[in-house]
Amino acid sequence: MTIELRNLKPRYMSESEVSGSDIYLQPSLCFEQGRKYMICARSGHGKTSLLNFIYGINKSFDGEIVLTENEERRTENELHTRVLSFMFQDLCLFPELTAMENVQLKNRLTNFKSDTEIEQMLDALLPQGKKHQLVASLSLGQRQRVAAVRALCQPFAFLLLDEPFSHLDHDTAAKVATMINDEVEKQGAGLIVTALDAIDFFPFDVTFNL
């Protein structure tokens, strides 16, 4: 599967604001399944917007985003549970549920992992006993790890990570990255990661400056 961007530009940004971007306003830019992409930019340059455009939850852009034909016919929900997985910058977790329940809520839709697998993944990233605590009581870094685990609980052709390690120390980030990389490799998926500065946890094929 490929994701092709044609002359893409957020409506709320002027042409001068996006001039010099490797991505915005490019006549044709392709993301290919199986390759890893890094997108770097300073704050406010439209990193989150770009991933939201691709994920289909923000439509205020000019230009075109073309997913490979047979994938395009899927419904939005199928797209979000079978094709694209997204680790949101604001995490989109439910504070009223525990860490485990948050992941299960997603897994219920996809039936992709068993409860034991989910527990193992959470145990590997969270301190002992945290998986059954309400997300409201977890630190931001811990929540980020829960969101990462949740993003892996579905089949995907592309995994979108929006500043995934912003609240993690280097060692924890490395652990999370290894888990993510293993799943991406296993599924033969593409990876698109945004960050403020270049990160070295993944063997990126291409790095773009937004």
Give min distance, CB of 170 to another protein, in A.
28
**Does residue number 117 form part of the binding site for another protein (CB under 8 A)?**
no
Partners of 37 in the beta sheet? 192, 206
Q: Is 136 in the site for another protein (CB under 8 A)?
A: no
Strand 84-87 with 158-162, pairing: parallel
Which residues, numbered 137-196, are part of the site for another protein (CB under 8 A)? 150, 154
CA dihedral 199, 13, 57, 88 (to 10 degrees): 30
Task: Label residue 161 exposed, middle or buried (CB < 10 Å: 0-12, 13-18, 19+).
Answer: buried
**Binding string, residues 24-63; x marks residues near another protein by CB under 8 A:** -------------------------------x-x------
**20 Ramachandran zone, left/alpha/beta (phi>0; psi -120 to 50):** left
Q: Is 73 a binder of another protein (CB under 8 A)? A: no
* Minimum separation from the CB atom of position 181 to another protein (A): 22
109 binds another protein (CB under 8 A): yes
Q: Which is nearer to another protein, 104 or 181 (CB)?
A: 104
Can you give the binding site for another protein, defined by CB under 8 A?
Answer: 55, 57, 75-77, 80-81, 86, 88, 92-94, 96-97, 101, 104-106, 108-110, 150, 154
